[in-house]
Amino acid sequence: MARNSRDLDEDDVRLRANPRGTRPRSKQRPAHEDASEGLVTTVDRGRYTVLVDGVEVNAMRARELGRRGIAVGDRVQVVGDRTGAVDALARIVRIAERETVLRRTADDADPLERVIVANADQLVIVCALADPEPSYGLIDRCLVAALTEGIEPVLCLTKADLAPADDVIAHYSALDVPAVVTQRGGSIEALRSLLPGHESVFVGHSGVGKSTLINQLVPSAERATGSVSAVGKGRHTSSSAIALPLPDGDGWVVDTPGVRSFGLAHVTADDLLWAFPDLEDGATQCPPGCEHQSAEAGCRLDDWVAEGHATPDRLAAFRRLLASHTTGDAR
């Protein structure tokens, strides 16, 4: 029944918004009314593990989702076989709107964004105080990624038995980032106390002790992150993240593979400025397109600080983070 546009009146237009035309909207719902809510815990080449009521369900995406990406941490609705049986396969039919997206690019010239995790509200940046030496570059980059997304960063400084934490803590004092310090064989209660009620994603170079921390926080993690899980499904590759429920059921930790680079091609100077409300108003005096790097380049933020609206430490910290992704490499 072909029609052309001049035959349409308002009622027709309203009907056309419904893809099945004559079917009332209420009749479309029953198809998924028995859907269950779950959380995506692993992603592996088009197969997803979704935790539904405590059961690990193997799922694929429903065709109706189109090309929308699904990431670890996504809250989804699934239909189909949710028994968790070895050969059972459910379908993900809906993805809830994400509250946050932690993303990176392979390097700073790479336009392709990779979503590391959805819906995290806390980023635990794990950094050794020695062996390997602290990587200020990686910390800065992780801070930028978190702050520009509204994710609360936490510094977790490990191996305090090898070197003191004072210098690293002082380096970030202007940013008010909470810091916890651990040593090998020591207590991790300070870290553990920050986690209940949060979805915390852990990032760090390999060798900093991140896996050790995760295994202490979630004793079942070692089994869950094995190359093939005990029931022979939900194979997890080391190239992607995995979400693990905290043992007391209140919150999640997301372990990420050892990060070699953390590209920030998608972040602009103004994105970062958003995380510095004390500086943001001052930037309204800057020339259009200001990169906020220096007064010599026309930036007015130095005047803003001189007028007493923000401290020099804050401006210095902002510019240092800004420089972390406009200079140097992504490591």
- 322 touching Zn ion, by CB under 5 A: no
Looking at the Cβ atoms of 198 and 319, the one nearer to Zn ion is: 319
Q: Minimum CB separation from Zn ion for residue 240, in Å?
A: 38
Query: For residue 58, what is the enclosing H or E element?
Result: strand 55-61
Q: Minimum CB separation from Zn ion for residue 148, in Å?
A: 17
Q: Minimum CB separation from Zn ion for residue 176, in Å?
A: 22
Of 197, 194, 227, the C-alpha closest to 213 is 194
Spatial distance between the Cα atoms of 94 and 79, rounded to a whole number of angstroms: 10
Site string for Zn ion, 277-316 (x = CB under 5 A): ---------x---x-x------x-----------------
Looking at the Cβ atoms of 238 and 284, the one nearer to Zn ion is: 284
In three-state form (DSSP H/G/I as H, E/B as E, the rest C), the secondary structure along 283-327 is HHHCCCCCCCCCCCCCCCHHHHHHCCCCCHHHHHHHHHHHHHHHC
Looking at the Cβ atoms of 227 and 284, the one nearer to Zn ion is: 284
Site string for Zn ion, 61-90 (x = CB under 5 A): ------------------------------
Residue 240, exposed/middle/buried by CB under 10 A (0-12, 13-18, 19+)? Answer: middle
Spatial distance between the Cα atoms of 117 and 122, rounded to a whole number of angstroms: 11
Q: Minimum CB separation from Zn ion for residue 211, in Å?
A: 41
Looking at the Cβ atoms of 217 and 286, the one nearer to Zn ion is: 286
Point out which residues bind Zn ion (CB under 5 A). Answer: 286, 290, 292, 299
